[in-house]
């Protein structure tokens, strides 16, 4: 529900591919390639098309893959963590840390939640 989402602390990162620096996009692309194909598809549907877990589940079912919405949510959560940890530490520091506000202007919208075990969500615009 909407109220539950508001109470759940999350870092939301929005990538504007047109404004992304080539090194960041290169590393993000490499990280995406490391995801299993169906999981990568879920991430792209969630982040590119802003589809809900239910809609992603319905789409996959129409394509012959049964993945319940709760499992889609778990796949997305794990994928976002994998994407973040797959990026080299220096790239995370430059583009995702709170100290790189100039680097993030026009590229990444990141709230001020400190880097910890908080879920990572990326939106590819």
Task: Assess whether pLDDT exceeds 60 at residue 87.
Answer: yes
Q: How confident is the model at residue 94 (pLDDT cuts 50, 70, 90)?
A: confident
Domain ranges of the chain: 13-124
Q: Report the alpha-carbon distance of residue 15 to residue 104 in Å, rounded.
A: 9
* Token representation of residue 42: 């879920």
Q: Is the pLDDT of residue 6 over 80?
A: no
pTM given for the model: 0.61
- The pLDDT, as a whole number, for residue 69 is 98
């Amino acid at each position: 529900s909407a109220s539950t989402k508001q109470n759940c602390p999350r870092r939301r990162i929005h990538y504007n591919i047109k404004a992304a620096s080539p090194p960041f996009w290169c590393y993000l692309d490499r990280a995406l390639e490391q995801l299993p194909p169906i999981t990568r598809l879920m991430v792209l549907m969630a982040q590119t098309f802003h589809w809900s877990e239910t809609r992603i589940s319905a789409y996959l079912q129409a394509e012959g893959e049964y993945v319940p919405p709760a499992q889609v949510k778990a796949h997305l959560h794990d994928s976002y963590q994998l994407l973040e940890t797959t990026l080299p530490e220096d790239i995370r520091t430059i583009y995702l840390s709170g100290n790189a506000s100039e680097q993030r202007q026009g590229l990444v919208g990141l709230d001020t939640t400190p880097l910890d075990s908080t879920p990572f969500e990326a939106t590819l615009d």
